Amino acid sequence: MRVLRRTLPVLLAALLLGGCFTIQILPLTTEMEDIHDTYRREFSARYLPPGPGAAGGATQAVVQASQEGFTHTIEKIRAFQLRHPDRDTEIAHLTVLEGMIYLQLDKLASATLMQDDVEKSGKALGVSADYAPRDRLFAQHFGTMIELAGLKAEYDTYANGNDVMKFPPFEEKAKKIGSVICTSLTRAPDEQKSAAICGAKQPMASEMAAAAGASGDGGPLYLAANAAIAYAWAYKGAEGICNANANPDPGNEAQHQSCLNDARATYFGAASNLVRLFLTEAEGKFADAADTIIVTPDSGRARYIRLLRELEACKKGEGCNLSN
């Protein structure tokens, strides 16, 4: 249980920063390219292990700024906004980027203050921009991702206080967060609409998610991972309920295990289906071959392959690092 509390918030940041939210260089202005380059440098300094040799000079300044929270990136976003107040599409894109930075830094108060601006920016983006589908998806779910980021503190309050009466509403809240994201990313044939949870029956990509994915954009995959992590939290709520129901009669272990197995199949099964939907067939095969070393030129994609591998293990109850 402690492993999950540590792992999920870190996993969110790792997935976001691992490459699938890498900003595409835009053929617009040198300033935009500079903002994106600065973002990547500050990300590398903050989250990636240092290379050989000690950082010094300008590089050390970037390291220090990144530790304070993408200072240079935010400064350059501000400067662009002041110099180009009429560049609506670029400013909308940068507003979404700034909001996502606050989320990945776990600055929920700042993210919440930006929520209205981010959501308006998502709606204002032109359809011709290659990053528009991704930004619209992020903006659409910005408030939902703020809620997701707050689940850890909420769960810790219940678990530490052993407040079993609050596990059912916690499970439903986490399930709803996952389902809201999943529903926008997927469409299901008519016979699958009756599924108990979104993603349970081999979903297909929605039109917007497919458009973002077709441009090589990792936004849908990142959001699918968010939904999967929400489902993992929902499982923790369900696990608390199963454990509480078993306490009055500890001898009824078979019923207890059946309760846990059903919850694993429901939540980790849907989570696995959703993440797999936005991976390639080859990446899915890597995930299924548990003993295979993951080899991919994109470290960000490798993180998602590892996530799918863990979700499959959790579904089966086999060495689940997300829920032990």
Per-residue pLDDT of 156-176, as tens digits, reads: 777 666 677 888 899 999 999
Residues 129, 89 contacting (CB under 8 angstroms): yes
Rounded to two decimals, the pTM is 0.81
What string of H, E and C letters represents the secondary structure of the chain? Answer: CHHHHHHHHHHHHHHHHHHHCCCCCCCCCHHHHHHHHHHHHHHHHHHCCCCCCCCCHHHHHHHHHHHHHCHHHHHHHHHHHHHCCCCHHHHHHHHHHHHHHHHHCCCHHHHHHHHHHHHHHHHHCCCCCCCHHHHHHHHHCHHHHHHHHCHHHHHHHHHHHCCHHHHHHHHHHHHHHHHHHHHHHEECCHHHCCCCCCCCCCCEECHHHHHHHHCCCCHHHHHHHHHHHHHHHHHHHHHHHHHHHHCCCCCCHHHHHHHHHHHHHHHHHHHHHHHHHCCCHHHHHHHHCCCCCCCCCCHHHHHHHHHHHHHHHHHHCCCCCCCC
Question: Across 52-56, 139-143, 159-163, 218-222, which has the greatest mean pLDDT?
Answer: 139-143
**Confidence band of 96 (pLDDT split at 50, 70, 90):** very high
Q: What is the pLDDT of residue 23?
A: 44
> Which has the minimum average pLDDT: 67-81, 126-140, 170-184?
126-140
Looking at residue 125, its pLDDT comes to: 80
Mean pLDDT within 87-116: 92
The CA–CA distances, whole Å, from 206 to 71, 158, 185, 211, 272 equal 36, 35, 5, 8, 17
Using the predicted structure, report yes or no on whether residue 10 has a pLDDT greater than 60.
no
Task: Determine whether 156 is exposed, middle or buried from the number of CB atoms within 10 Å of its CB (0-12, 13-18, 19+).
Answer: exposed
In this model, does residue 304 exceed pLDDT 80? yes
- Beta-carbon neighbour count of residue 245 at 10 Å? 14
d(CA 228, CA 272): 7
Of the candidates 285, 293, 287, 278, the residue with the CA atom closest to the CA atom of residue 308: 287
Q: Are 232 and 285 in contact (CB under 8 A)?
A: no
In this structure, the dihedral spanned by the alpha carbons of residues 142, 42, 225 and 126, taken in order and rounded to 10 degrees, is 50
pLDDT category of residue 5 using cuts at 50, 70 and 90? low
Any idea which of 6-10, 215-219, 250-254 has the lowest mean pLDDT?
Answer: 6-10
Q: What residue type is assigned to position 252 of the chain?
A: N
Question: Please, what is the average pLDDT of the chain?
Answer: 79
Residue-wise pLDDT tens digits, 309-319: 999 999 998 87
Q: How far is the C-alpha of 228 from the C-alpha of 174, rounded, in Å?
A: 10
Query: Which range has highest mean pLDDT (81-90, 252-261, 264-273)?
Result: 264-273
Q: Is the pLDDT of residue 78 over 90?
A: yes
| CA 159 – CA 80 distance, rounded (Å) | 45
